Amino acid sequence: PARRAFLRGGASLGALTFLTGCDIIDSDAAEGALRRISRFNDRAQAWLFNPNKLAPTYPESAITRPFPFNGHYPESEAPEIAAEGYELEVGGLIDNKESWTLDRLYALPQESQITRLICVEGWSAIGSWQGVQLSEFLKRLGADTRAKYVWFQCAEGYSNTIDMASALHPQSQLTFKFDNQILPRKYGFPMKCRIPTKLGFKNPKYITAMHVTNKDLGGYWEDRGYNWFSVL
């Protein structure tokens, strides 16, 4: 039974003690065991991830207003990026390494989604986002989609590494607008990546660079012990 509970993604304290042979309130040993279990969960979740399963979508009337801001700092300290001079740097395992100005990005075919953002801190909110499908953008870059990861660098030092299957998921979006308006500063101007199949912290805002890679370059919260895969 402990094993089954474990595979459902949540191990009880008792099960953890049973599995790891260490007292959970105690020590570095427990911390190390938790990290190993977390990595195990990441692998299990990657195997279980169904690239065709869609996140739920909602009507306009369900949009949360005002939509919350979140970051590891107060809203007043959110990066302020000037549209003029902004360029998205692209690199790694792609054919076309030319940077993207906002004009070029805005000219890409766009689609819309009304989905729920779920934060590990214990809140969720429904938002409306518009942008280009990440898979379509990767295609235009001539990306090697057999590569394992897509890595995002953000203006204030935040970062994320996303597995390629999730990057290619039909609802994963390079997002330029919130509620049909140019993305406001608090939601990540000029660009965020919306991945409704993943927790909020796997949705980078203020993106300045994107690389296709076979190397796991980690991320801000991942490096601090959060589950890497963080699927919903």
Ligand X SMILES: Nc1nc2c(c(=O)[nH]1)N[C@H]1C(S)=C(S)[C@@H](COP(=O)(O)O)O[C@H]1N2
Judged by the rule CB under 6 A, the positions of this chain that interact with ligand X are 68-72, 117, 119, 154, 156, 158, 187, 200-201, 203-206
The 10 Å Cβ neighbour count of residue 112 is: 13
Nearer to Mo ion, 139 or 224 (CB): 224
Q: Which does 187 bind (CB under 5 to 8 A by kind): Mo ion, ligand X, none?
A: ligand X
Q: Which does 190 bind (CB under 5 to 8 A by kind): ligand X, Mo ion, none?
A: none
Q: Which does 15 bind (CB under 5 to 8 A by kind): Mo ion, ligand X, none?
A: none
List 100, 176, 201, 228, residue binding Mo ion (CB under 5 A) = 201
Do 166 and 227 meet the contact criterion of CB atoms below 8 Å apart? Answer: no
We find the least distance from the C-beta atom of residue 68 to ligand X, in angstroms, to be: 5
The amino acid at residue 199 is: L
Q: Which does 136 bind (CB under 5 to 8 A by kind): ligand X, Mo ion, none?
A: none
We find the least distance from the C-beta atom of residue 83 to ligand X, in angstroms, to be: 17
Total chain residues near Mo ion (CB under 5 A) = 3
Cα-Cα-Cα-Cα dihedral of 180, 183, 186, 189, to 10°? Answer: 180
We find the least distance from the C-beta atom of residue 198 to ligand X, in angstroms, to be: 10
Residue of minimal Cβ distance to ligand X: 200
> Exposed, middle or buried by CB within 10 Å (0-12, 13-18, 19+), for 92?
buried
We find the least distance from the C-beta atom of residue 144 to ligand X, in angstroms, to be: 26
Do 194 and 173 meet the contact criterion of CB atoms below 8 Å apart? Answer: yes
**Considering the rule CB under 5 A, would residue 200 count as an interface residue with Mo ion?**
yes
**Considering the rule CB under 5 A, would residue 55 count as an interface residue with Mo ion?**
no
Burial track 125-146 (b if 16+ CB lie within 10 A, e otherwise): bbbbbbbbbbbbbbebbebebe
Spatial CB neighbours of 119, under 8 Å, sequence gap ≥ 6: 70, 199, 200, 201
Residues of this chain that bind Mo ion (CB under 5 A): 119, 200-201
